[in-house]
Amino acid sequence: MKMHITIKKADPSELKSKPDETNLGFGTYFSDHMFSMDYVDGVWQQGEIRKYGDFSLDPAAMVLHYGQAIFEGLKAYRGKDDRIYLFRPKDNLARFNRSARRMCMPELDIDGVYEGLKKLLEIDQQWVPSAPGATLYIRPTMIATEAALGVRPSRRYTFFIILSPVGAYYPEGFNPVKIFVTDKYVRAVRGGVGEAKTAGNYAASIMAAIEAQKKGFTQVLWLDACDRQSIEEVGTMNIFFVIGDEIITPPLRGSILPGITRDSVLRLCRDWGLQVVERPITIDEVFAANQQGLLREVFGSGTAAIISPVGSLYYKDQECKINGHHTGELAQRLFDELQAIQYGHKEDPYGWVETI
Ligand SMILES: *Cc1c(COP(=O)(O)O)cnc(C)c1O
C-alpha cells in the first residue's frame, strides 16, 4: 500500500544547531523533524512529517493510566562513502507489530511506515553523525490516546518516530561492564509481556537498576521469575556465555525480548562453524564453569551497545570475574563484524542492510 505523507518542513530559522558529535551521550538530543500518524475509528490516518515538538494529550489519555505504549529502537549509520545505512529495519517494524498484537494495539502497514521513516531520514540526514562510534538512534513509538477511564483497549492511538544522535550507550564504551545478578527482583514472567517492547517492562526494571548502580554496577542481569536460577537477559541486552567450546544463550520462551542483534549473533556464529546453542542456563552453572576455568567469555547483545563484553558478574556476595576483566576474542570478532556490516564497510551476505 502506498502511504500518503504530508510534509510540513520546519522553517530554516527554526532549525536547531547540531550538537558536538564527540560528546553526544545517549538520547539527549533530538533532530528537527518527526513522523506521526493517528489511528481513529479503526483506520490509520495520513502520515505526517513535521517539526519536532510537543503533543497535546488529554489528561484521561489511556496511555497515562493503563500503559498501552510500545516502542522500537534501531540505528542509522553513516558509512565512509557518506551513505546512510539501516540494519534490519523491517525486522524492527515486524517486532513492533508483534508488540502491538500483545498489547491489543493496532498493527502498522510495515512498508508504508518504512517509506515514512526513509522520508524522515532523508529530511533530517544532516543529523546522522559521522564521528566514529556515533549514530542516529531511531525510536518508533505508539501510545493510546483515547480520553477514557476503564481498562480496555483504547480506540485511538498515535504512532510516531523521533530521531536522536547518540554516542556510546554505556560510559564504558566497548569495554567490559560489571553486572549485578538480582534474585530479589524479576523483570517478566512467561505468559506476561516480557517479550513485547512495552513501556511498563522498563518502568518495572528501574528500581533494581538503581540499587545495582548504587553498588557500582552498570546493569542488572535478570533471572527467571519462577525458579530464580535460569538466566534471562540484561536490562536492554540479550546475553551470551562461552563455556569451553560452547556458545550459549537462553531460549526465547516468552519472557525475554527477542533481540535482532541476538539473532544476528546466532547467525554469524553458526556461519563461522562455531558450536552455538539456545538452551536454559542457570547462574549456578555459570559460576561452576568459572570455578573450573571453563567460562571464557560473557557478552551482551543489543542495538544500543551492539556487543557489550561483561567483565564480572556479582551474585549472592560472590564475584565471577571473566577473562581477567578483558574483552573476549569472540565478543571482539562479533563487534567488528557487525559494525563492518552496519556501516557498509563490508559486503553484507545476509540482506540485513538497507541504504537510504
Ligand atoms: C531492545 C531490547 C533488547 C535488544 O534487542 P535488539 O533488537 O538486539 O536491539 C534486549 N532486551 C531488551 C529487554 C530490550 O528491550
State pLDDT tens for residues 264-279: 999 999 999 999 999 9
Weakest mean pLDDT among 1-15, 47-61, 275-289, 331-345:
1-15
**224-236 residue pLDDT tens:** 999 999 999 998 9
What does the alpha-carbon distance between residue 185 and residue 205 come to, in Å, rounded to a whole number? 8
The pLDDT of residue 173 is 66
In this predicted structure, the answer to whether residue 98 has a pLDDT above a threshold of 70 is yes
Tell me which of 308 and 173 has the higher pLDDT.
Answer: 308
CATH number of 5-166: 3.30.470.10
At 2, the pLDDT band (50, 70, 90 cuts) reads: low
Residue 310 CA to ligand 1 center (angstroms) comes to: 16
Spell out the residues 6+ positions from residue 326 whose beta carbon is closer than 8 angstroms to its own: 176, 309, 311
At 4, the pLDDT band (50, 70, 90 cuts) reads: confident
Nearest CA to ligand 1 atom 1: 236
In this predicted structure, the answer to whether residue 295 has a pLDDT above a threshold of 80 is yes
At 175, the pLDDT band (50, 70, 90 cuts) reads: confident
At 170, the pLDDT band (50, 70, 90 cuts) reads: low
Average confidence score pLDDT of the chain = 96
What does the alpha-carbon distance between residue 217 and residue 79 come to, in Å, rounded to a whole number? 33
Q: What mean pLDDT is predicted for residues 80-104?
A: 97
Q: Is the CB of 119 under 6 A from ligand 1?
A: no
Q: Is the CB of 261 under 6 A from ligand 1?
A: yes
Residue 82 CB neighbours (<10 A)? 9
In this predicted structure, the answer to whether residue 294 has a pLDDT above a threshold of 80 is yes
**104-132 residue pLDDT tens:** 999 999 999 999 999 999 999 999 999 98
**17-41 residue pLDDT tens:** 999 999 999 999 999 999 999 999 9
Q: Secondary structure of the chain in the HEC alphabet?
A: CCCCEEECCCCHHHCCCCCCCCCCCCCCCCCCEEEEEEEECCEECCEEEEECCCCCCCCCEHHHHHCCEEECCEEEEECCCCCEEEECHHHHHHHHHHHHHHCCCCCCCHHHHHHHHHHHHHHCHHHCCCCCCCEEEEEEEEEECCECCCCCCCCCEEEEEEEEEECCCCCCCCCCEEEEECCCCCCCCCCCCCCCCEHHHHHHHHHHHHHHHHCCCCEEEEECCCCCCEEEEECCEEEEEEECCEEEECCCCCCCCCCHHHHHHHHHHHHCCCEEEECCCEHHHHHHHHHCCCEEEEEEEECCCEEEEEEEEEECCEEEECHHHCCCHHHHHHHHHHHHHHCCCCCCCCCCEEEC
**177-199 residue pLDDT tens:** 999 999 999 999 999 999 999 99
At 172, the pLDDT band (50, 70, 90 cuts) reads: low
φ, ψ of residue 279 in degrees (nearest 5):
-155, 155
Contact 237/301 with Cβ under 8 angstroms?
Answer: yes
The pLDDT of residue 96 is 98
Q: Which amino acid makes up residue 309?
A: P
The separation between CA 244 and the C-alpha centre of its own chain, rounded to angstroms, equals 29
Closest ligand 1 atom to residue 74 Cα is 9
Q: What mean pLDDT is predicted for residues 150-170?
A: 93
- High-pLDDT (> 90) share of the chain, %: 95
At 263, the pLDDT band (50, 70, 90 cuts) reads: very high
The predicted model scores a pTM of 0.96
Residue 254 CA to ligand 1 center (angstroms) comes to: 14
Q: What mean pLDDT is predicted for residues 314-318?
A: 96
Question: Hey, where are the domains in the chain?
Answer: 5-166, 177-342
What does the alpha-carbon distance between residue 173 and residue 308 come to, in Å, rounded to a whole number? 8
Residue 41 CA to ligand 1 center (angstroms) comes to: 32
Q: What mean pLDDT is predicted for residues 151-171?
A: 92
Residue 302 CA to ligand 1 center (angstroms) comes to: 5
Q: Is the CB of 255 under 6 A from ligand 1?
A: no
At 48, the pLDDT band (50, 70, 90 cuts) reads: very high
Q: Is the CB of 257 under 6 A from ligand 1?
A: yes
Q: What mean pLDDT is predicted for residues 196-206?
A: 97
> In Å, what is the CA distance from 312 to each residue of 152, 208, 217, 218, 220?
44, 18, 9, 11, 12
CATH superfamily of 177-342: D-amino Acid Aminotransferase, subunit A, domain 2 (3.20.10.10)
Q: Pocket of ligand 1, candidates 102, 195, 236: which has the most ligand atoms within 8 Å of its Cβ, to mutate?
A: 236
Q: Is the CB of 233 under 6 A from ligand 1?
A: yes
Q: Is the CB of 161 under 6 A from ligand 1?
A: no
